[in-house]
């Protein structure tokens, strides 16, 4: 495989605009929660810029609101973000062996669900510069949206704030549906993920497992099963 050609920083920003718009609306509601936790707009901006993780930040806010310890916050965010460990392993395979370590680290800053899906969808090896562009616009949308939410505070009605929170899920569907339409194996994996997610909430034993742990378990099982049934040949990746 060869490095991605013709897709640089500008193309990454262009492809990252839909993600940035989704982040802008969702992080706005996060900012409202930060306002309730007593945080300033600057603090909210920096927290989102450094973390870039919706579930992790929400989990951290709950610890702040409950006046928890630093250890509790570390454990809570570790569980909430544990799935990124698996995503990072897969993400690392998208880089050429010649990619410098410092570039891998910079890309690793932004392994979010949506940016990860965008990277995996690229054919061949991933051009780090392309990912920088997507990261730049997406991180800006997330951080500025959070700051705007803190400033707005509780001005917006609760039903509007709740509606904004669904935007990210619709955007994620827009990312995975094209790939599922092209490949039946991808479609089967997506449907299996939906089914397992739904069943995990009602099955007696599984429903008692923390959500972050459930995501990790099902991700490993579905990915392993798909790799055995429908392995990807090397020539198919080029």
129 shares its domain with 219: no
pLDDT of residue 135: 94
63 shares its domain with 155: yes
Buried b or exposed e, range 99-132, using 16+ CB within 10 angstroms: beeeeeeebeebbbbbbbbbbbeeeebbbbbbbb
Residue spans of the chain under pLDDT 70 = 1-6, 154, 156-172, 174-175, 211-213, 215-216, 232-238
Q: Is 138 inside a domain boundary?
A: yes
106 shares its domain with 200: no
pLDDT of residue 7: 76
| Domain termination residue (choose one: 179, 205, 228) | 179
96 shares its domain with 167: yes
106 shares its domain with 153: yes
Contact 6, 152 (CB under 8 A): no
pLDDT of residue 49: 92
Q: Is 2 inside a domain boundary?
A: no
| Domain termination residue (choose one: 156, 179, 202) | 179
156 shares its domain with 202: no
Q: Which two tokens stand for residue 112?
A: 């979010």
163 shares its domain with 196: no
pLDDT digits (tens, 9 = 90+) for 81-105: 877 888 888 888 889 888 899 999 9
pLDDT of residue 237: 46
Residue 171: how many other CB atoms lie within 10 Å: 20
Residue 48: how many other CB atoms lie within 10 Å: 27
Contact 59, 210 (CB under 8 A): no
198 shares its domain with 117: no
23 shares its domain with 130: yes
pLDDT of residue 47: 92
209 shares its domain with 112: no
| Domain termination residue (choose one: 179, 194, 223) | 179
- Which domain covers residue 190, as residue numbers? 183-238
146 shares its domain with 218: no
Length of the chain: 238
pLDDT of residue 3: 45
Contact 23, 142 (CB under 8 A): yes
């Amino acid at each position: 495989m060869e490095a991605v050609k013709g897709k640089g920083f500008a193309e990454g920003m262009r492809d990252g605009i839909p993600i940035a718009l989704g982040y802008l609306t969702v992080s706005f509601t996060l900012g409202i929660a930060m306002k309730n936790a007593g945080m300033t707009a600057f603090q909210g901006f920096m927290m989102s810029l450094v973390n870039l993780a919706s579930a992790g930040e929400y989990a951290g806010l709950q610890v702040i609101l409950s006046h928890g310890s630093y250890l509790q916050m570390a454990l809570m965010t570790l569980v909430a973000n544990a799935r990124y460990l698996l995503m990072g392993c897969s993400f690392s395979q998208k880089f050429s062996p010649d990619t410098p370590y410092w570039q891998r680290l910079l890309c690793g800053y932004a392994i979010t669900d949506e940016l990860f899906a965008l990277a995996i969808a690229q054919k061949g090896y991933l051009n780090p510069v392309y990912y920088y562009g997507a990261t730049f616009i997406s991180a800006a949308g997330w951080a500025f949206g959070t700051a705007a939410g803190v400033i707005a505070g509780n001005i917006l009605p609760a039903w509007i704030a709740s509606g904004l929170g669904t935007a990210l899920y619709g955007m994620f569907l827009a990312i995975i549906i094209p790939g599922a339409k092209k490949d039946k194996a991808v479609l089967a994996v997506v449907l299996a993920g939906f089914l397992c997610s739904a069943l995990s909430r009602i099955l007696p034993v599984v429903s008692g497992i923390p959500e972050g742990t459930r995501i990790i378990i099902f991700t490993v099982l579905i990915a392993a099963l798909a790799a055995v049934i429908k392995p990807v040949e090397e020539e198919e990746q080029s």
